[in-house]
Structure 1
């Protein structure tokens, strides 16, 4: 009897659990890591310098950072880089020139938009963790694990049956009889093989029942619907944020091109 194969629980847990890791799309950045570490050390040194007793010194070591760590998402990283570039352009503008540098203004708006997209991604991840991962892990840890154990029981039962048949054939061959002639087997040997066959059939039927229960339960589809809903909400918000930003950037680009042409014509 055919058995529906069930993937091992580890084949999907690892991938989706990435939503529990805030930095799953965050590029390694040694400079930012050292900056965060330096800020943490500075906080500890400042607190230790004010400690007047061993108890206060111990409290300084275990105190949380004074500043909230920056979110470790790619969108937040882009936002920080864009804002830093905008500020650099503003500060490097020649004296007397209009502070409204088009590129600086565009980068600032883009930084704000990317930060909003990053916050939307964090909201998505929170929804996926609470509404998808929790229920999905429960399903994986119960129904599918049961199905996997049932499949292994079938495999073990089949191996035992094959081993029993092989042993009986070897005994016939040792007696100089045809090993494929089942009629040459003793009543006791045939009974032993039949018992192993019955056990194998029983294990197959039990496994099919367990796997049917896995396929019939509505929980996985409900969990998957929650996953898609969270992703849809995130992409919808990202689209709205960038759709609002795009016309502003386009207009800046058109205005700058017009000013450039006017300056060229006047020269």
Structure 2
């Protein structure tokens, strides 16, 4: 039985390692290609290790285009991702607390509408949203990429936090009410500190989605100075001429560093947040 258990664990780890290598291979290929000469990237695609290491790709890529360096693009992405994430967490936490703890008319209907909104493809909303933002005069600015997230427009985060709050014992709310806490006091002093795993999990997903958001930037941003990194990377390649793919891969490698850092720092909270375990003994 012991030999079978060891053999089973060995096979399991080999399979997991194989799947992990397959998933990481494209990223590793991109990273190694960023040190190759542009003319040899696709002709030697099967060779991961470059014959000649070229560091100029990073310098050339950092220069950007249209007189705007990639430092500006990264700053724009960081601003959009951070502010949008703050708005998402703040608004979603408030709405989730109302659904999980407060009693009001139409609660079930609103919750069902929120769940239904999660099933709508984003493409359906593109045209009406664009027309709305155009009338507000937001097209060409960061407003369409930031302001809507302060109004809890993403049902995923609300649903995640509702499940987490429902896992917190209601006895804590009752004890706080006895001590004179209002709904706002219970939310700020009891619920909010306990739901930190859900907030961190939502923050990771929100930051990642805002950082990688290409379509929204393509629709609403029309000035190169305001381009985020996701849009700049696409426009860095000129389909009508030869593109510096070495520089593109170099900037693509740099663009994933913030996501990797955030994941490594906060990965221990992911399981707690997604499992919605609530208060633990």
TM over 0.5: no
TM-score (norm 1): 0.33
Larger helix fraction of residues: 1
